[in-house]
Amino acid sequence: QSVLTQPPSVSGAPGQRVTISCTGSSSNIGAGYDVHWYQQLPGTAPKLLIYDSTNRPSGVPDRFSGSKSGTSASLAIAGLQAEDEADYYCQSYDSSLSGSLFGGGTKLTVL
């Protein structure tokens, strides 16, 4: 079964750096497909944060960065701010599904 695994929750104090992992398999991240990250603020639609594993769309602060290695990817958020409190989702293409796959989401709490 194709799955992208994220930790259910992470937390950090303002100003700190946190990372969110996304672990896949040989039919998605491990097959070379890039990973994308979305931020979903409470009650709003998801917003693209990182595409193609490491690229930031215009308007996304450089506090947000992405990386990918093997069958995993990570989203790092530096200089945590209160407004970063949200749910974060990774997403990739999966060849066995012929479609996209989302991670289960990670709730970021800013302490």
Partner 1 sequence: EVQLLETGGALIQPGGSLRLSCAASGFTVNTNYMSWVRQAPGKGLEWVSVLYTGGRTYYADSVKGRFTISRDNSKNTLYLQMNSLRAEDTAVYYCARTMFSSSSLWFDPWGQGTLVTVSS
Residues contributing to the site for partner 1 (CB under 8 A): 32-36, 38, 40, 44-48, 51-52, 57, 89, 91-93, 97-105
Which residue blocks in 1-111 are alpha helix, DSSP H? none
3-state SS class at 99: strand
Complex with partner 1: residue 16 or 96, whichever CB lies closer: 96
Half-sphere exposure of residue 11: CA atoms within 13 angstroms, side-chain side: 4
Q: Tokens representing 26?
A: 């040989």
Nearer to partner 1, 73 or 77 (CB): 73
Nearer to partner 1, 80 or 89 (CB): 89
Q: 5, 106 in Cβ contact below 8 A?
A: no
Q: How far is the CB of 27 from partner 1 (least distance, A)?
A: 13
Closest separation between CB of residue 91 and partner 1, Å?
7
